Amino acid sequence: MNKRLQRFLTISTTDPDDARKRKILNILLVGTGGISLLALATFVYWATTSQLNEMELTLLVGGSIASLVMVLTIYLVNYFWSGRVAALLYLLLLNFIFAFSDTPDQVANGRALIGFTIPIFLASILLTPAASFVFAVLSSLIIAAIAFSINIFPNTPAILGYLFIAFISWSSAGGLEHALSELRTINTNLDRVVTERTQALAEALSRERVQAGRNQAILNSIADGVIVFDNRWNATLANPAIKSMLDIPLELIINKNFRELIEHPRVAPRSRALLNAMLEHGTQPIGFRIEWSDKTLSVSAAQIYDNQRQNTGTVIVFRDFTHEAEVERLKSTFVGVVSHELRTPLNAILGYAEMFKESVYGPVNEKQINMAERIMKNTQRLLGLINDLLDQAQMEAGKLTIHNQVVRVADLLESLHGLMDKSAADKNLELTSEIDDTLPEALMGDPARLQQILVNLVNNAIKFTDRGTVHVRLFRQTGKWGIEVADTGQGIPEAELPYIFETFRQVDADATRSHGGFGLGLAIVKQLVHLMNGEIGVTSRHGEGSVFTVVLPLTTVEGVSTSWRHE
Amino acid sequence: MKKLALIIEDDEDLAAIFAEALRGIDFEVENVTDGMQARERLTQGETPFLILLDMHLPRVSGQELLKAIKSDGRFDGTWTIITTADARLAEDFRDQVDFALIKPILFGQLKDLASRLKPKDQL
């Protein structure tokens, strides 16, 4: 019922203001129509009781019927054509009704004056706020005309009152319209925002679903085992690969604490210690290896941070390293065996050549001695290369370690001269050396590896110097000490400087042929220096020689317990 | 009487070179080329002045032989020299022996070293 009434009253139009006004007009029309019907019924009742004369009756009934017809007409105009025209007609109708609703003196100067305020007020609502003034003037003209027709002066307070009511209506309706239009703007904006947000949310949800699906697919398809832990080390996520890698069901991983996994009987004790260390000190920068049953797994971990840089957990990636570990072990065994097997016959060649040279089995002439020396020299070179390869292999496998003990710096230079003087003399070069006064007599270091650094640097200098000297200087810096090897050789082209410490690098292929060697010497020096936490640098001018400088941390013997000392 | 050197070395050429070097400085030389034989030899016969022991031997390892030598009081006066191509291994045993030589071992080097050795009870 209510709905039907609403449909009857509501006129659909694109302008919400127009719709509102036309609806109000319809409500007023229903009210006016109702009153007219009631009046008609009353008048008809009066007629039957003969309270009115015939002329009065005709006037009243006719007026009521006319009013009803007008109301219907205005409704149709309002409904089908224009709200404004309908409103104007309605307000004029009201004025007309009030003008004839009472005796002329009452209309011009009495109780009916109040009726005219209604169209003035309604004009501001149904037309525009300013229309109130038009109807105030119209009403004033009506009562003035009626007043003049009965020869009285128009009621000035009433006219002023009309204008005042018009003013009130104008300002309140204007405020109302303004408020309504603001409200509409706010509503429109709100609608737009809600629509946008909803759409964004829907997009984000679907994106997230796609992303999550993709992540899960990636996680499922990678061969590495992945476990994601929250910040209390409870496993929240794991992929199928980890299941086969650890050979335990996922239920034993998911929602379990990392500690339970570490305590699993398949973890080797040493690996357990490593995992516990990771748990306590957070993640380790470099991956490490653990033994799980008969498998070797490499473990690397990374912290997970959210947008606020808060640590929300850790992701651990396990990789099956069993095969690689086996290959590495074989490689290192192979290198060990090969180096041993190669060195033994070379030792024999060296020994026989020496015996020949020493005339063990009878006298030999000078040329034969010279030949024996050449055999020995080349064998030594070959042995040097094998040592280099072995060192390189050990360093690659991370097996070469530094064993520090007390080293007398003078001993280092003494044995350097013992080993290299002859090589220098063979090329008519001078090998000189000095030790800075500030350097302590003894310091902590690995004598064999320091010797190797010196020999390799000097060997390299001799190789690339054709005349002049190779000078070795041991020096001290604040908290450090160093080795400097300077030569007067051909120098190194500037463009080649960045590469000279690379494995198997010599300045050009011809150099390899004319100077011998793989170019491993400097690469080994650099790696040894790094193992000793030191640094190496080189300055060179093409044609003027090169200076290699090694700087190492200085640990003096005084700072070390005497049990380290060697006699 | 000549000093006796026991060379335990499985490589025939090296054994020959070491023997020649030691003979050159008036040693009497006895060669053993296999770990098992060496173990037997250590339990009987003349106590050598010097033992040159290769750490890599077939059947019985040099390490095991060294243990036998160290635990037998008869060898208290014997100079023990080990030979190996493995520098790290030499380092590990340096404290237990008189000398640890790393291959390649030069003819002259062994000769110089052995010629300087005096009987241990005269030190």
- E-assigned strands of A363-518? 405-408, 430-435, 442-445, 469-477, 480-487
Which site among A332, A333, A335, A344 would you substitute to test the B interface, given the most B Cβ atoms closer than 10 Å to its Cβ? A344
Is the pTM value of this prediction over 0.80?
Answer: no
Give the containing element (helix H, strand E) for A540.
strand A535-541
Which of A336, A348, A379 lies nearest to residue B14, judging by beta carbons? A348
Please tell me the number of Cα atoms within 13 Å of A373 on its side-chain side. Answer: 10
Residue of A nearest to B105 (CA): A347
Q: Which of A336, A346, A403 sits opposite B104 (nearest CB)?
A: A346
CA distance from start to end of chain A: 117
A469 closest CA partner among A519, A418, A434: A434
- How many Å apart are CA A550 and CA A526, to the nearest integer? 9
Is the distance from CB of A443 to CB of A479 less than 8 angstroms?
Answer: no
Instruction: Chain B: give the shortest CA distance to residue A276, in Å.
Output: 32
| SS3 per-residue string spanning B34-60 | CHHHHHHHHHCCCCCCEEEEECCCCCC
Question: Which residues in chain B have Cβ-Cβ distances shorter than 8 Å to A448?
Answer: 87
- Interface contact flag, A347 B104, Cβ < 8 Å: yes
Mean pLDDT, residues B4-9? 94
Q: Choose the closest CB to A348 out of B13, B85, B108.
A: B13
Query: For the purposes of burial, counting CB atoms within 10 Å of the CB of A219, is it exposed (0-12), middle (13-18) or buried (19 or more)?
Result: middle
The region of weakest confidence among A14-23, A75-84, B9-18, B22-31 is A14-23
Task: Kindly report the length of chain A.
Answer: 567
pLDDT at residue B14 above 90? Answer: yes
Residue with tokens 């306590």: A280
- Whether the bond into A285 is cis, omega within 30 of 0: no
> Residue A389 and residue A338: Cα distance in Å, rounded?
11
A 520-559 near B (Cβ less than 8 A): none
Residue A448 has a pLDDT of: 83
Residue with tokens 């009353």: A42
Do the beta carbons of residue B87 and residue B101 sit within 8 Å? no
Pairing state of beta strands A311-320 and A295-305? antiparallel
Alpha carbon distance A480, A24 (integer Å): 98
What is the full per-residue pLDDT of chain A (567 aa) written as tens digits? 678 888 888 887 788 788 888 888 899 999 999 998 998 888 888 888 877 777 878 888 888 888 899 999 999 998 888 888 999 999 998 888 888 877 888 888 888 888 888 999 889 888 888 899 999 999 999 989 988 888 888 888 888 999 999 999 999 888 888 888 888 889 989 999 998 999 999 998 888 888 888 888 888 888 888 998 888 889 988 888 888 888 888 888 888 888 888 888 888 888 888 888 887 776 555 577 888 888 888 888 888 888 888 888 888 888 888 888 888 778 777 877 777 788 888 999 999 999 999 888 889 999 999 999 889 988 988 888 888 877 777 777 666 778 888 888 898 898 889 888 888 888 899 999 999 988 888 888 888 889 889 999 998 899 889 889 999 999 998 889 999 999 998 888 877 777 788 766 554 555 544 455 556 788 889 888 988 889 999 888 888 889 999 999 988 876 544 433 343
**Tokens of residue A262, six digits:** 């570490």
CB A302 within 8 A of CB A315: yes
Q: How far apart are CA B96 and CA B75, in angstroms?
A: 13
Residue in A closest to B85 by C-alpha = A340
Asked if B82 and B62 count as a contact pair (C-beta separation under 8 A), the reply is yes
Provide the 10 A C-beta neighbour count for residue A149. 10
CA-based nearest distance B104→chain A, Å = 5
* Residue A33 touches partner B, C-beta closer than 8 Å: no
For A53-116, the DSSP string reads: -HHHHHHHHHHHHHHHHHHHHHHHHHHHT-HHHHHHHHHHHHHHHHHTSS-HHHHHHSGGGGGG
Distance CA A105, CA A150 (A): 7
Please tell me which of the candidates B17, B20, B85 has its beta carbon nearest to residue A339: B85
pLDDT at residue number A384: 81
Q: What pLDDT is stored for residue A284 in this prediction?
A: 55
Per-window interface: A 212-271 vs B, CB < 8 A: none
DSSP class of A545: E
- How does DSSP assign A339-402, residue by residue? HHHHHHHHHHHHHHHHHHHTTTTS---HHHHHHHHHHHHHHHHHHHHHHHHHHHHHHHTT----
- Judge contact between A29 and A89, C-beta under 8 A: no
What is the distance in angstroms between the Cα of A519 and the nearest Cα belonging to chain B? 23
Residue A566's identity, in one-letter code, is H
Cβ A302 vs Cβ A220: under 8 Å:
no
Q: Please name the residues in contact with A362: beta carbons below 8 A apart, sequence gap of 6 or more.
A: none
Instruction: Identify the closest residue of chain B to A339 by CA–CA distance.
Output: B85
The residues in B 28-87 lying below 8 A from A, measured between CB atoms, are 56, 85-87
Q: Across the interface, do A354 and B106 touch by the CB < 8 Å criterion?
A: yes
Which of B17, B91, B104 is closest, CB to CB, to A343? B104
**Closest-approach residue (CA) in chain A for B14:** A348
- Nearest Cβ partner for A354 among B56, B85, B107: B107
- Out of A336, A348, A354, whose CB is closest to B11? A348
The answer for residues whose C-beta is within 8 angstroms of residue A232's C-beta and 6 or more apart is A257
Give the one of A336, A343, A355 whose C-beta lies nearest to B107's C-beta: A355
Burial of A339 (0-12, 13-18, 19+ CB in 10 A): buried
Residue A531 in contact with residue A400, Cβ under 8 Å? yes
Which residue of A337, A354, A402 to mutate against B (max B Cβ within 10 Å)?
A354
The three-state (H, E, C) secondary structure of A253-286, written as one string: CCCCEHHHHHCCCCECHHHHHHHHHHHHHCCCCC
- Across the interface, whether the CB atoms of A403 and B91 are under 8 A apart is answered yes
- Cβ of A350 within 8 Å of Cβ of B104? The answer is yes
Instruction: Sort out which chain A residues have CB atoms less than 8 A from B106's CB and list them.
Output: 350-351, 354
Question: How close, in Å, is residue B85 to chain A by CA atoms?
Answer: 6
ipTM for the predicted complex comes to 0.88
B17, B98, B112: which to substitute to probe chain A, counting the most A Cβ within 10 Å? B17
With CB atoms and an 8 Å threshold, state whether A344 touches B20.
Answer: no
Query: Residue A209 is encoded by which pair of tokens?
Result: 């679903």
Q: Of A340, A347, A358, which has the smallest distance from its Cβ to B14's Cβ?
A: A347
Interchain pair B87, A352: CB under 8 A: no
- 3-state DSSP call for residue B28? strand
- Which A-chain residues 341-400 have CB contacts (< 8 A) with chain B? 343-348, 350-352, 354-355, 358, 360, 379, 383
The answer to whether A422 contacts chain B (CB < 8 Å) is no
Residue A464 DSSP class: T
